[in-house]
Amino acid sequence: MLLSDATLETGSNVDFREIPLNQISPNPNQPRLDFSEERIRELESSIKKDGLLQPILVRPLGDGYEIVAGERRWQACKRLEKESIPAKILILDDVESQQIALVENLQRDNLNPIEEARGYRRLVDLSGCKQKDLAEAVSKSPVFISNAMRLLDLPEEVQDMMVDGALSAGHGRAILALAEDETRIKLAKKVIEESLTVRETENIARLYSSQGLERVKRAPSPRSFGIAARKLRKLLKTGVRVKSVRGKNKIEIEFSDETDLERILAAIEDKEILSNQEEAQGQREGFVARQL
C-alpha cells in the first residue's frame, strides 16, 4: 500500500539521531541516476560554511542504515571527512522507501523525464497499485503519470538522449507517435541535429506516417549549430537548442525554476569573466612583446 500525503508529512514513525557515516549505505533503487558533480561541490561548500541544514532520511537495514533520501548530502559530508550525519530514521518497507525517495527528489530537484518515469514504474511494480492510486500518492494527475511512463516505450538509445538533456519530455512524446524503434531513433537524431522544437517534431512525425522520414524536407542547420548546442549543454548542464526560425537564429536554454535560472546565469557570467581575463592577459603579453 502506498503512503498517504499525511504520513509522508507527519512522519509518525520517525526517530532522529546522529549516525556514523560508515554505518550508512546508498539506496540501490535511488530514482536519481545522475548526480551532478557541480551540485555536490556546491553542497559541500554550503555545509562547510553553514553546516547541514536538513537531515537525511534513512531506514534500518541489516546492521546499519540505507539512505531513503539525501544521498548528495551524505556524499558531501563524506568528502568533508565528517564522522557522522544527522538523520531521521523511518521504519519503511521497500514500497514506502521508494515512494518517499521519489517524492523527495521531485520536490527538491527535478528529475529528468526518464528518471521520473522509471521511478513511477518501479513503484507500480513494487506495490501493484494502479496508476490512479500512484497519481494520488505523488500529487500528480493520472494523465501525467500515464504520459510519463509511456516514455519508457522509447528505445534505450532515445531514452539516453533524454537523460543527457538533448531531448525534452515533449520531444519524447512526439517521437512515440512513430511505430517502429528504428524510425524513432532516426527522428530523435534529426531533432538534435536540427534543433527542432516539439511542435516541429510533432509535424514531422505526422508527415512520416504517410510519406516516410527520408522524404520530409527541411533545410539542415549548419553543423556549427549542433556543436554549439552540445558545448552549451555541457557548460550549463541543461537542455540547449541552437536553431534558425523564420530567418532568425536563436538559442533556447531550458531551466526548471528561478533557482536553476540563477545557476545558469552564474555559469554564463563565470565564463564571461574567464574570457575577459584571458583576453586581458593576451593584451598584456602583446604589450610586453612589443616593448621587447
pLDDT grade for 10, boundaries at 50, 70 and 90: very low
pLDDT digit string (tens) for 66-123?
Answer: 998 888 888 888 888 899 999 999 888 887 887 787 777 666 656 788 988 888 888 7
Has 71 been annotated as catalytic?
A: yes
Average pLDDT, the chain: 79
State yes or no: pLDDT of 169 exceeds 50.
yes
Q: What is the mean pLDDT of residues 249-267?
A: 86
Question: Which candidate in 44, 71, 96, 194 is catalytic?
Answer: 71
| Burial class (CB within 10 angstroms; exposed 0-12, middle 13-18, buried 19+) of 50 | exposed
Task: State residue 212's pLDDT score.
Answer: 57
By DSSP bridging, strand 24-25 and strand 14-20 are unpaired
Phi, then psi, of 240 in degrees rounded to 5: -140, 135
State yes or no: pLDDT of 36 exceeds 70.
no
Phi, then psi, of 140 in degrees rounded to 5: -125, 165
- pTM of full prediction above 0.85: no
Task: State residue 286's pLDDT score.
Answer: 47
What sign results for the dihedral spanned by CA atoms 236, 237, 242, 245?
negative
pLDDT grade for 276, boundaries at 50, 70 and 90: low
**Of 184-193, 245-254, 270-279, which range is least confident?**
270-279
